[in-house]
Amino acid sequence: MKVWARRAALGAGLAAAVACLLFAAWLTWDWHEPYPSQPRVVLVHVPRGMSAGQVLERMAREGVVRSRFSLKLAFSLFGHPTTLKAGTYRFERPMTPLQVVQVLNKGEVLLTKVTIPEGLRRDEVAHLLAAAGLGRERTFLRLTADPALIRDLDPAATTLEGYLFPETYLMDPDLREEAVLKVLVGSFRSWWEKAGLPNSGGMPVREVVTLASLVEKETAAPQERPLVAGVFLNRLRIGMPLQTDPTIVYAETIGGVYRGYLTRQDWTYPSPYNTYLHAGLPPGPICSPGKASLEAVLHPTPSDYLYFVSRNNGTHYFSRTLAEHDRAVERFQRRTGAAGIQ
């Protein structure tokens, strides 16, 4: 009886050992042999709040690996469940469970590319971000109306107007709207610390950004920006009104009355942003200026120009006196009914 029991135990032990060896062999093969799934790109979206187990279930269900059990075991041994990142994962080729775990550990989610052009108002930025799938436009509008993200640099700020830095960004599409805006404002902060603050000559950040926003709206010609900035600074220096049409466009736009064009009657539109009625800078930026316009304000071209008018080809004619400016207006603008800086 004892002999039989020993033989049975030995047999069971051998069977268990063989089973363990077979399992180890299978697991080694499965962990190192990519699963030849369907020849297609597999996208797996992981929303916020999903548990690690649910994520692995979804990966297996979408055909990323051949064995749900194998993936879960690999993740239990080598995964980082506390740092699992939400987002969309893209699998373009067959992968092993260990490779999938590595992707999850690195948080290699798809990023959304979004370009913020120079010269957009905050409501235009909100629309663009929402169109890119990075959040809700209404939420972006509400959050950009709060200056908290920039208040330490600009205590007088009433919104984030001017500080949503124009740049091309790669964003995690699962970021919350607050985090997206922190990225944009953070880009401005980085620029200010590296280029703005050291060269501002004591000019407050609000004045730099406000003046740069006027330069941004007045000319798209790179070579003209420092010269336009110089004209505005010349006018500010002698107390002469800036008289720049983009400030009226902004005032009427936020007032809900802009018709898409301006006439001389609009020069009397009652707004603190109307630089025909009020000398000095407007109360704040009228758009988010780009690097070139910001740097133009920090490094303006010295001149004695006080006027400029569009040549109708993307550039401007600059004048020193009102008489010279009037002749330029007659030459370039009277026939079209447009006007330049007065």
User: 102-127: per-residue pLDDT in tens?
Assistant: 888 888 888 889 999 999 999 999 99
Q: What is the DSSP letter of 40?
A: S
Q: Do residues 116 and 153 touch, judged by C-beta distance below 8 A?
A: no
Distances (CA, A) of 286 to 27, 218, 247: 62, 12, 7
Whole-number percent of the chain with pLDDT over 90? 57
Q: Where are the alpha helices (DSSP H) in 115-257?
A: 122-131, 137-144, 177-191, 197-199, 205-218, 225-238, 245-254
Q: Do residues 248 and 270 touch, judged by C-beta distance below 8 A?
A: no
**Around Cβ 135, how many Cβ atoms within 10 Å?**
21
Which pTM does this prediction carry?
Answer: 0.79
pLDDT in tens, 42-74: 888 888 778 888 888 888 888 887 777 777 877
Rounded Cα distance between 32 and 96, Å, is 6
CATH class of segment(s) 32-110 = alpha beta
Helix axes 68-78, 97-106, angle to 10 degrees: 50
Q: Identify any residues that bridge with 170 across adjacent strands, giving them in sequence order.
A: 113
Helix axes 97-106, 2-32, angle to 10 degrees: 60
* DSSP SS3 for 167: coil
- Mean pLDDT across the stretch 134-149? 96
Rounded Cα distance between 338 and 330, Å, is 10
Cα-Cα-Cα-Cα dihedral sign, residues 156, 162, 168, 171: positive
